[in-house]
Amino acid sequence: MLSEPGLVTALQVPIVTASLVVRAIGGIELPLVCSPSQVAPMLGRSDHSIRDDCVAGLIPTLQRAGGSGAHHRIATARLLDQIGIPYEIVSSE
């Protein structure tokens, strides 16, 4: 049975999408998990040097995704804590 136009049935539920981001000082917003290339500009370094630090264990990373060529995954808030940059976790708009 089809409902009349304009009627809302009990099965219709609005889909709300929201995500969280890390907002560092200066308003820079980054995802909760970043690749080296995403954090490199904030640190003023190349993504290659960030990757080198990940390999050396200087920057803590999450477990890498499966498959060849998987990038390092950096927990953004943990990195900002490590280097002393204040941040807050907010809902993206």
**Are the beta carbons of 20 and 93 closer than 8 angstroms?**
no
User: How large is the average pLDDT for residues 2-23?
Assistant: 68
Question: Which pair of tokens denotes residue 71?
Answer: 């990038």
Residue 63 lies in a domain: yes
Residue 25 lies in a domain: no
**Are the beta carbons of 40 and 46 closer than 8 angstroms?**
yes
pLDDT of residue 92: 80
Residue 29 lies in a domain: no
pLDDT tens for each residue of 48-60:
999 999 999 999 8
Q: How many CB atoms within 10 Å of residue 35?
A: 16
Residue 76 lies in a domain: yes
Domain count, the chain: 1
Question: Which pair of tokens denotes residue 85?
Answer: 């940059």
pTM, full prediction: 0.70
pLDDT of residue 79: 93
* Residue numbers of the domain that contains 51: 34-91
Residue 57 lies in a domain: yes
- Residues across the chain: 93
Residue 18 lies in a domain: no
Q: How many CB atoms within 10 Å of residue 61?
A: 19
Give the domain CATH number at 46.
Answer: 1.10.10
User: How large is the average pLDDT for residues 11-38?
Assistant: 83
pLDDT band at residue 86 under the 50/70/90 scheme = very high
